[in-house]
Amino acid sequence: MLAAAADEVVLRNGDRIRGEITSLADGKLLLRTDYAGEIALRWREVAALSTTGPVTVMRAGARTPLHGTLQALYGGRLLLVAPDGAAHELSLDEITHLNPPPWESGIGAAYAGRITLAAAFTRGNTEDERIDADGEFTARARDYRYALSARVERDDEPQIGVSTAWLANTNYDRFLETDRFAYVRGSLEHDRAKDIAQRASAGAGYGAELAAGHASLTVRGGVDYVTVDRYAAANERYPALGWGVKAGYPPWFHEHEGFWNLEDTDAVFVRSKTGLRLPLLKGLGVSAQLNLDWERRPAPGRKSTDSTLLIGIDYAW
């Protein structure tokens, strides 16, 4: 239960709403209440507010946030009292965020991760059932973002017995503007079914966050160097045009990355995953995901397309 001495928001129509102010972003003030859970209020409808504890405040045109307790004054004015007793007078109009995440406030970094365990049904270079584990970890600050991800598949085929395929990715983004970044990336893959003992790529380029929030869209493109060591076919070394797309509109998500050989433009390969994640309990959910790998010119005797349907349990933090 919320304490009796709760934060208070006064609307322009005179209504007073008590609860716990959690955040302000994109013109919406979120307030957690005992009687209605978390509610969203339009910031332009707020006439005054006060808090019982300190909040972090960001102002238009200022990169350094303020931290303190807010008190209502008059005419849309607020007094912010910092923990050291210093006071700052603000107007509602100049406040853009309350309790912003690290990538907006510049304070610290936010960490997130996800693990998915699934049963897989495969058609392509292999036709079998298998166990699939997929995980990712991301750190996001105002000036940078880095991500690590890995996928492991364990096959049990009557013809060849037990085999393991895996893919690992890493990337580092350095933000040049709020929604523009330079990146370096790398990946390492092993898959006997595709005649790949090891396929490595490393590259750099430029990217943009075209949408962020509930709906998200990030694109990137640059130059990579790809090496492929094969079991039977000839090994390969070549520069490539590399690109990537990451999009989401919960519960839907999509990611893909591609590499186009710049020395032999008939050679292209793409890796993608698309699916749905449905929450069950806090952090725990179910997922349905289609992994689709395509090579325009695969190794001799291999098929161009590998598709894997995964139905599994998903845990995010």
Q: For 191-226, how does the pLDDT look when each residue is reduced to its tens digit (9 = 90+)?
A: 998 999 999 999 999 999 999 878 999 999 999 999
Q: Mean pLDDT over all residues of the chain? A: 92
Query: What span, in angstroms and rounded, lies between the C-alpha atoms of 107 and 130?
Result: 43
Q: What is the mean pLDDT of residues 94-119?
A: 92
pLDDT one-digit tens code per residue, 7-64: 999 999 999 999 999 999 989 999 999 888 899 999 999 999 999 999 999 999 888 8
**Phi and psi for 40 in degrees, rounded to 5?**
-110, 130
Q: Which residues of 200-229 are buried (b: 16+ CB within 10 A; e: fewer)?
A: ebebebebebeeeeeeeebebbbebbbebe
Residue with more model confidence, 310 or 149:
149
Please tell me the pTM assigned to this model.
0.81
The pLDDT value recorded for residue 161 is: 63
Query: What span, in angstroms and rounded, lies between the C-alpha atoms of 256 and 254?
Result: 7
The pLDDT value recorded for residue 131 is: 84
Q: Is the confidence at residue 150, as pLDDT, over 70?
A: yes
Query: What span, in angstroms and rounded, lies between the C-alpha atoms of 148 and 244?
Result: 15
Query: What span, in angstroms and rounded, lies between the C-alpha atoms of 265 and 263?
Result: 6
Q: What percent of the chain has pLDDT over 90?
A: 80
Tell me which DSSP letter residue 103 carries. H
The pLDDT value recorded for residue 1 is: 46
